[in-house]
Structure 1
Amino acid sequence: MLAATACTGSSPNAPSTSAGASTAGTSATSAPSTPVETSTASSPSTPGTTTPTTSTTPPTSTAARTTTTTPPSQPTGPVTLLAGLDIAWSVAVLPDGSALVSERNTGRVHHVPKPGTGGQATVVGRLPIFRTEGEGGLLGLAVAPDFDTEPVLYAYYTTESDNRIAAVAWQDGRLGEPKVIFSGIPSGRRHDGGRIAFGPDGYLYVGTGEAGDTGLSQNLDSLGGKILRITRDGDPAPGNPFGGSPVWSYGHRNVQGLAWDSRKRLWASEFGQDTWDELNLIEAGRNYGWPEVEGRQDNPDYVDPVAQWSTDEMSPSGIAVGPDGAVYMAALRGESVWRVPVSADGSAGKATRHLNRTYGRIRDIQFVGNRVWITTSNNNRNDRLLSLPLSAVGAG
């Protein structure tokens, strides 16, 4: 395993802080340079929607830790789909409207039936993770585009020596044995990346972190601090910008969000260190600056972010493009969902903040039917997968 140095700033798993407060080693106090508005909606009183409280006594059984709620067929308010989770990291929606949810700290994968069918969530498999302190474990999940005809799930997880990606067959409602297709991604206590997603071109894109070794981000021979583009067999995808390399873009610190819009443009969230968290528009072969620059610097050698925020307001993880074409970003330290309208020329409009401090730290976001799903990441063994109306995040 690569040695990871102690790192300050926008750590995605740092304890939750109150509004305006900063974690140790973080000095950013300035307002975000992207104009913002804060949602004024108060925390709802519907049962199951209050901010989770910290539990210091772990449950004694799996049954005690994982509970489900069977929602009505047409819910109008917030609904808890899955609870009792030890960091619900990624949500992968299947073609039938059900979903698979990764649990970072245990390696378990949960299957959540399509809401309204009356089914109950179940654990359908476990990945062979190596889990210590920090941000590693079972992270991103991705569903192959032709899942109906070739049901295979892809998973990004941490071992004793690296982060890797495995293809896992979906057989009779269970996960089969993982087949490693790609390995050697640097791992560390911080900055393990972990988001994977299939692009419109059918290839698998992988967001990696620099594992606390900042020099990896500018090193094209390293897989750390990059966005990678690979085939389903784990080979560099045809047309990659650096010959036979899997690297698609570089100069990243810790990528945990990948999403495409209707113009097939790739957007990525980026954890800053002390000053700026970023939303980037990704182009093949481009250098996004870390560790030479953070945030907008107007340096022609590096790509500036489309939007940026002070680290206490964001710490972005999962992102999604909504039905309105805006980019939605799940904020950990910022304990919010940010809506960022983007235009045809790739610029960002006024960002608005939603669910501010309502559910605590938010790890992932997905649009499913006419609802939005989010996962919490409060590190209290009672994290949740929630289904909300689109209006809760400004999308409806």
Structure 2
Amino acid sequence: MEIHEYQAKAILADYGVAIPEGGLAYSPEQATYRASEIGGEQWVVKAQVHAGSRGQAGGIRICSHEGEIWEAADELLGKRLVTHQTDARGKGVYRLYVEAAVASEHEVYLGFVLDRAAERVMVVASAAGGTDIEEIAANDPDSIVRVNVEPAVGIQSFEAREIAFAVGLDASLVPQAVHLMTACYRAFLDLDATMLEINPLAVTADGRLLALDAKMTFDDNALFRHQDVSELRDKSQEDPRERTANDRGLSYVGLEGDIGCIINGAGLAMATMDMIKQAGGEPANFLDIGGGASPERVLKAFRLVLSDEKVKAVLVNIFAGINRCDWVAEGVVQALQRLEVPVPVVVRLSGTNVEEGRRILAEADVAVITADSLAEAGARAVESIAGRAA
């Protein structure tokens, strides 16, 4: 789960990370009022969306007077911001964060990520602050500092000092840097985060370290332990299909292809998508219906997959262990009888009660294309689209 910049900053501030003074606004009038509360001579108006590179897309405006703030807010609110991290539709801007502009003398990148291979939290830092880490890795990979933290002891002061010096911070700033990194590590662990990024971390003229931007993501499977974090979820920033699936207990990721997939098990789903690609097609989604797929659950999955207008065929691939092929077959029949399914449906069943599942499909008055193997299922799904086009 992702959260907005202002939410991440509020969390980090609670842990002792210094941030510029700011406030949330939902209208141009609120934006100008926030600026008057903050005071000063310059302010930054930031679109709050779940995407990076907002500045390059026009989502961050520096303003010097009330009129500029009003105009920036009026233009941004309701706009769909398109960056290289969004699809062509972009993300809707429904709230703004107004904060005091900060003159920085130097900016660095600081991030904490979960290194699954090493089973450690990794600190990632670079002297090239204000730039996406992907760009830094491509343009100046040697500038990236990586440190795996030993989980038994957490981040140590000597490690934080080494990172601070490696990214070019002055010795006078090292105590602040140690405090900041320790605070970020604590927040990361305490809240079951999967990523924490401060970019840029600014060095101000008066010798302070300020988090000018912040981003955090969290482990969905651990949100039950953090109700306060769970409540920060902004469904307006999520893919409608993924939001619908999440609310119904399904694992769904939308893709750009035209073959809808209904599969049980993440590994089988990945293998199925590979087989579709091998056959010359493109998957429209990743959808794992889980191990206890009832007919009702299969019906929900069909509704979700068919909500994607790009889908030209549906591939149901089930390897039943805990699951049962007859349950899935009943769900497929219900979906074809109750829904308007204007595309070919390919079904491959294997495992528990497979013969009963195949019998249900054969005897039902519904149009399905059956397959015995994964390779055959992928090929038939691709062929069904080609056949309709012809």
With normalisation by structure 2, the TM-score equals: 0.24
Select the structure of larger CA radius of gyration.
2
With normalisation by structure 1, the TM-score equals: 0.23
Higher helix share goes to which structure?
2
Higher strand share goes to which structure?
1
Structure with the larger RCO, 1 or 2 (CA within 8 Å, 6+ apart):
1
